[in-house]
Structure 1
């Protein structure tokens, strides 16, 4: 989980990108053990690729033991460990996972939450319906994430609500796994130190995680999820890339997870992340 040496886009085969995304969904519990996968043609249409790409992706997943092909049934998810209970720590932890759109924050957060039993707090899940309603009330598109009103007025309140949820859980003795872009927050030492102080005052440890993803893989993820809020990014992807810093990292000790298509499985990196979190606890 060391920092990638370069932010240059890597040209990973499409079948690896598709396989990684499906693998992440299985490990995050989005696709459940025993669930039947869509047909090859349906998956090809969903991903906008050929059936050959889908078959190659499925072969990788079958080789990894995550998918099983059954006669007359089709392909099934194989993840029996999803039902296993996870031990809960006595000391609360807060894991803040940041990254750009399409980097895989939600998947990593779900994997960590499933592995540990810690609550998952996702900014979009908690705030999106209210944000969209607020934008419509003031006459803007509910999918707007670029206007001055959103950036200066609404966005700060989203993060305020998110941290308030973290604090309330800590007051109950419960940590959390928190997923949001955190692009501005992770670049702001004052915000980081305030957050660290809040967690410390409530007897918790905090770990900052930056989820790296190369530009090409990130584009694949964003295009696949088809979220309306991503329309502006996809309409001018090169312009969007010019406006972000793929080398962004928190200016404090942190963990980098690489979710590029050619990197090691996200679940393996998540498990090492959990080990890092627990080492931090033992050291304090």
Structure 2
């Protein structure tokens, strides 16, 4: 595949997102270049390039005869954003776009609860699929699409509504591919939030195809096996230029885009302004 961005930059961006999202912690030792090369399925040279990019940003420290370590002392500095009107941030995007990382960054910066569809429902979904005689990793069959998937989203939105009823803000992450394409669905959720005294912000995470492929391959989740087995066929059904048909915020997580953490903080500033104060 022709790549629009160098692999080293793609890897560096994903590692930086993991640091900002708290998956990689300050002071944590990173695996060796050889181990990272196996993990990312690239050459040692590419890993060293990626680590050099991170070192230039001060996110990774490398000392002679010592393992590289994560340098993110600000991770322990926690703030809480308290808007007057509760806020709901609904984040969607294709597999590997970085929507969950964005949700984690927002949650760490604001102190708001993060509700991720896979985290909340995956084990129940896998058990339900097995009970239907299907693979735990099936996300393509008619049974999953018509019976299980709607229940996943219903559960996710119930958790969101419960937080709003308690006066909490909420960060909600899921693909939302079908949902964000349906203006009436979005309007209904806006009305639900408004009736609970909250404001809804729709966020779409854009990511170029190459960077998505690098990340999906790296995370090696069983549910992605079908996608990776025939990536070109999968991408033929993906519209990377898709945008929700209502007012929304776009976060650009392609390598040529801005740093995700910076974009996240700009979004937080806007949410605080919308909620009339912190």
TM-score, normalised to structure 1's length? 0.94
Aligned equivalent of 1:87: 80
Mapped partners of 1:233, 1:52: distance in 2? 27
Match runs of 1:180-199 below 5 Å: 180-199=174-193
SS at match of 1:206: strand
1:240, distance to aligned residue in structure 2 (A): 1.0
Residue-pair matches, total: 275
What residue ranges of structure 2 are gaps of 5+ in the alignment? none
Matches within 5 A, 1:200-211: 200-211=194-205
1:127-206 aligned within 5 A = 127-206=121-200
Deviation at 1:202, TM superposition (A): 1.2
1:30-41 counterparts in 2 under 5 A? 30-41=23-34
> In structure 2, how many angstroms separate the alpha carbons of the residues matched to 1:277 and 1:88?
9
**Residues 67-120 of structure 1: CA deviation (Å, up to 9, x unaligned):** 111344311111111111212304321100000001011111100111111111
Are the equivalent residues in 1 in contact too, given 2:97–2:206 (CA < 8 A)? yes
Cα-to-partner distance string for 1:212-236 (whole Å, 9 max, x where unaligned)? 1111111111111101111111111
Q: Identify the residue that residue 70 of structure 1 maps to in structure 2.
A: 63
Aligned to 1:4: none
Q: In the alignment, does 2:272 pair up with 1:278?
A: yes
* Aligned residue number for residue 225 of structure 1: 219
Q: 3-state DSSP class of the match of 1:178?
A: strand
Q: Work out which of the residue numbers 94, 100, 104 in structure 2 matches 1:106.
A: 100
Query: 2:81–2:272: 8 Å Cα contact kept in structure 1?
Result: no
Structure 2 match to 1:259: 253
Moved more, 260-269 or 100-109: 260-269
Q: Quick check: 1:124–1:180 contact (8 Å CA) kept in 2?
A: yes
Q: 1:47 aligns with which of 19, 40, 46?
A: 40
21, 34, 45: which one aligns with 1:28: 21
- Where structure 1 has 5 or more consecutive residues not aligned to the other structure, the ranges are 1-8
1:242 match: 236
SS of residue paired to 1:256: strand
239-248 or 103-112: bigger deviation: 239-248
Q: Is the 8 A contact 1:16 1:262 kept in 2?
A: no
Q: TM-score, normalised by structure 2?
A: 0.96
Tell me how far apart the structure 2 counterparts of residues 63 and 244 of structure 1 sit (CA, whole Å): 34
Cα RMSD after superposing both structures: 1.4
Q: Give, in whole Å, the separation in 2 of the partners of 1:239 and 1:48.
A: 21
